Amino acid sequence: MPTVVRKKPGQSDDRLIADFRKKILADEVIDEIKDRVFHKKPSVVKQEKIKERRKNRGRRSY
């Protein structure tokens, strides 16, 4: 899905670029591109998933 940011009346170009960057970071597009460019061994991917689960183990979402 493309990321679209529309310019609002009176908004500067710098602010438009900042909004675009913020939206890209929120959508985690950069992380996905990096994952596709650099190959990771399956064992490394597995270790990262385990690490993420351990990090989120005590947290609850309400």
* pLDDT tens sequence across 17-40: 999 999 988 888 888 888 889 888
Q: Is the pLDDT of residue 61 over 70?
A: no
> Residue 48 and residue 2: Cα distance in Å, rounded?
28
Whether the Cβ atoms of residue 3 and residue 20 lie closer than 8 Å to each other: yes
Task: For residues 31 and 27, give the distance between their C-alpha atoms in angstroms, rounded to a whole number.
Answer: 9
pLDDT at site 38: 87
